[in-house]
Amino acid sequence: MGSDPVKSDTLRTDTVKDDLHRYLHGARDALRFKIDGLGELDARRSLTPTGLSLLGLVHHTAVCAAEHFGVVFDRPFPEPTPDVDADPHADFVVPPEVSLDDALAYVDRAWAHADATIEALALDAEGTVPWWSGPRARVTLHQALVHMIAEAHRHAGHADVLREGLDGSAGLRPDSTNLPEGMDWDEHVARVDRVAREAADRSVGPTA
């Protein structure tokens, strides 16, 4: 039997970085996929009671990447980023005078800057997160990658739900929905609701 590559003492750090970078790319691509085909209104409009929008998610995550792989490692993104100190939701609301196409071009440039930092530095390269305090503010590239993978995949999951609720679109990526073929979704939804009602009825218990 072969050795477990995860436990192997010969596992190279550059391979680990490639794996982490690939997972970050996966989340980034999933987020972009969820905004494909939308116009200005549907991309920007609030889809939750707290004002979450698809463009807001895509833009916020790209800004986070530009900052975590920018100023944190003394490689600042050369374009202005939203002032979240003045307005904590600034990166979730793209100004109306910035077109959807221009906003997505900015997103692409922010991610390209993040990619350049990841490719240039070693996993043990150290940086400082200025908006964190105490010892936790000192991070390595490895830690920044793990943090941003969690951040980006969380928001990709948000985007999955928002887009499906908006127009019924679902799936993992353009070339693979990752959904079972031939599924009767109406029947499946009815089944889920039926099971929920049965469980709720059981929780009430017998009446006197």
Q: Is 67 a domain residue?
A: yes
- The encoded tokens of residue 29 equal 């691509």
Q: Is 33 a domain residue?
A: yes
pLDDT for the residue numbered 4: 43
DSSP code of residue 176 = B
**From CA 29, how far away is CA 168, in angstroms rounded?**
19
Q: Is 58 a domain residue?
A: yes
Does 162 have pLDDT greater than 80?
yes
Tens-digit pLDDT profile for residues 61-111: 999 999 999 999 999 999 999 999 999 999 999 999 999 999 999 999 999
pLDDT for the residue numbered 13: 61
Task: Give the predicted TM-score (pTM) of the model.
Answer: 0.87
pLDDT for the residue numbered 49: 97
Alpha-carbon Rg for the chain, nearest whole angstrom, is 21
Tens-digit pLDDT profile for residues 121-138: 999 999 999 999 999 999
What total of structural domains would you count in the chain? Answer: 1
Does 11 have pLDDT greater than 80?
no
Give the residue, 187 or 206, on which the prediction is more confident.
187
The H-assigned helical ranges of the chain are 13-33, 40-44, 54-68, 100-120, 141-167, 185-204
Q: Is 93 a domain residue?
A: yes
- 85 C-beta neighbours (distance < 10 Å), count: 8
Query: Residue 27 burial by CB count (10 A; 0-12/13-18/19+): exposed, middle or buried?
Result: buried
Structural domain harbouring 145: 13-181
Q: Is 68 a domain residue?
A: yes
* Cβ atoms of residues 65 and 155 within 8 Å: no
**From CA 31, how far away is CA 149, in angstroms rounded?**
12
* Cβ atoms of residues 70 and 77 within 8 Å: yes
Q: Is 115 a domain residue?
A: yes
The CATH number for 127's domain is 1.20.120.450
Tens-digit pLDDT profile for residues 163-182: 999 999 888 888 777 888 88
